[in-house]
Amino acid sequence: MIVEDTIHVSVREGYDVIIGKDLLVNTGKYLSAMFQERKAFVITDSNVKDHYLNTVLESLKDSGIDARFFVFPAGEGNKNLSTYESILNMLSENHCTRSDYILALGGGVCGDMAGFAAGTYMRGIPFVQIPTTVLAMVDSSVGGKCAVDLCQGKNLVGVFHQPSLVLCDTNTLSTLPQKYFKDGMAEVVKTGILCGGELFDLCCNFDIENLPKIISMCVEYKAGVVERDETEQGERKLLNLGHTAAHAIERCSQYTVPHGHAVAIGTSIIARASDRLGFSSTPISDDILSVLSSFGLPTSTEYSPEELLLASRMDKKSQGNEISVIIPEKIGHCVIRSIDFDVLSTIYEAGIS
Ligand code: NAD
Ligand code: GLY
């Protein structure tokens, strides 16, 4: 086992994010040190199960941990109340109590949904994130946002529930399909635009050897934001850069456009609009579109500004006739603006292509 970095997230009940290789085979050792004499409930999806479930179950067994598991069909379309209810039923049928815990083994879909189950079952039991996608390692496994989608919109039912530990085993990325690797890079580029400097440069001159360092830098940045604003009263809204249009695109596509692809398009729309409407202090859209394209990510959408606007009305970032949007003014400096839907319409018109 090689531990490359450990980042502590100092929220009320702080936790470590451990980044390294061969962590999965040591899952049991980490957990037996944290939770004595307690049952583990592993939640995973139908793809991740084939690759990693046995490794985790073996490791738990070797450490004397009593474990059960639940597998749901992979995909954002299953991040819904029906799968969530099946998870709750499995927990109660197996006599899961408040002294037991959940392990979320998979990408952001698994982590968000298993975390939501952990945050609500018996008013909250502990959970551990074992992210297996780039997106989940750099973003969704850290910070405690847990939710499921409604057909009316993304992540509309959820809680803040922080994990007790995050284990990022970068070996798992060897089986991740290219399409989902790109998705994660969209969130990496988003973070690079927010913090600028070395991280944005590492995106522009990408070398796969730097991936563990990139994951660490993203987690470090996100941990700082979450520590200062755990429940998104202010600064944490910055992490939604590109997400207003992204969530609208996901909804218009009935969740067939993957989240990271939608974030790439949403970030491109707001970058173009920022240049064209004079929000940016220096032109930024060429650099942003160029780095997103270098990862093979899309920068435009087939949906019209009117369709996006309609979908954005159900966004949980909206309050009355206003919605918060993150404006990139330059690489390394973005601002939060509360705007009304007429201005959002102007932004979509200006940035769509
Ligand atoms: P995902 O969980 O659907 O995983 C993508 C695909 O890769 C799935 O088919 C999955 O089965 C497969 N997969 C996962 N790991 C694999 C591996 N190692 N090898 C082979 N296949 C593997 O999608 P995602 O991109 O990880 O996450 C997207 C979700 O994350 C969205 O629902 C989004 O809303 C959410 N999200 C949440 C936060 C947050 O803060 N909570 C932040 C960003 C995104
Ligand atoms: N991914 C946005 C957040 O965690 O706040």
Angle at 115 between CA 188 and CA 21, to 5 degrees: 50
SS3 134: helix
CATH numbers and ranges of domains, the chain: 2-175 (3.40.50.1970), 178-351 (1.20.1090.10)
- Kindly indicate the confidence band of residue 164, based on its pLDDT and cuts at 50, 70 and 90: very high
Work out the mean pLDDT of the chain and round it to a whole number: 97
3-state secondary structure 92-111: HHCCCCCCCEEEEEECHHHH
| Of 139, 244, 263, best ligand 2 pocket probe by most atoms within 8 Å of the beta carbon | 139
Share of the chain above pLDDT 70, in %: 100
State in Å: Cα 307 to ligand 1 middle. 26
In whole angstroms, what is the distance from residue 106 CA to residue 43 CA?
A: 8
- Kindly indicate the confidence band of residue 151, based on its pLDDT and cuts at 50, 70 and 90: confident
Structure tokens at 86: 């099946």
Q: Which of 136, 114, 138 is nearest to 125 (CA)?
A: 114
In whole angstroms, what is the distance from residue 202 CA to residue 132 CA?
A: 22
- Which residues, in sequence order, are CB contacts of 276 under 8 Å at separation 6+? 350, 351
Q: Is the CB of 108 under 6 A from ligand 2?
A: no
Pairing relation of β-strands 165-169 and 101-106? unpaired
In whole angstroms, what is the distance from residue 118 CA to residue 239 CA?
A: 23
Ligand nearest to the CA of 109: 1
For residue 236, what pLDDT is reported?
Answer: 98
In whole angstroms, what is the distance from residue 155 CA to residue 27 CA?
A: 29
In whole angstroms, what is the distance from residue 77 CA to residue 74 CA?
A: 8
DSSP state for residue 210 in the 8-state scheme = G
State in Å: Cα 141 to ligand 2 middle. 10
Condensed to tens digits (0 to 9), the pLDDT of residues 7-32 reads 999 999 999 999 999 999 999 999 99
| Of 129, 228, 239, 241, best ligand 2 pocket probe by most atoms within 8 Å of the beta carbon | 239
Q: Is the CB of 182 under 6 A from ligand 2?
A: no
Condensed to tens digits (0 to 9), the pLDDT of residues 284-343 reads 999 999 999 999 999 999 999 999 999 999 888 888 889 999 999 999 999 999 999 999
Condensed to tens digits (0 to 9), the pLDDT of residues 268-299 reads 999 999 999 999 999 999 999 999 999 999 99
| pLDDT of residue 223 exceeding 90 | yes
Query: Which residues does the annotation mark as catalytic?
Result: 123, 145, 187, 222, 232, 236, 240, 243, 247, 259
In whole angstroms, what is the distance from residue 203 CA to residue 240 CA?
A: 19
Share of the chain above pLDDT 90, in %: 95
The mean per-residue pLDDT over the stretch 86-108 comes to 98
For residue 217, what pLDDT is reported?
Answer: 98
State in Å: Cα 37 to ligand 1 middle. 31
For residue 47, what pLDDT is reported?
Answer: 98
Helix, strand, coil content of the chain in percent (nearest 5): 50, 20, 25
Do residues 65 and 28 lie in contact, with contact meaning Cβ atoms separated by under 8 Å?
Answer: yes
Nearest CA to ligand 1 atom 38: 140
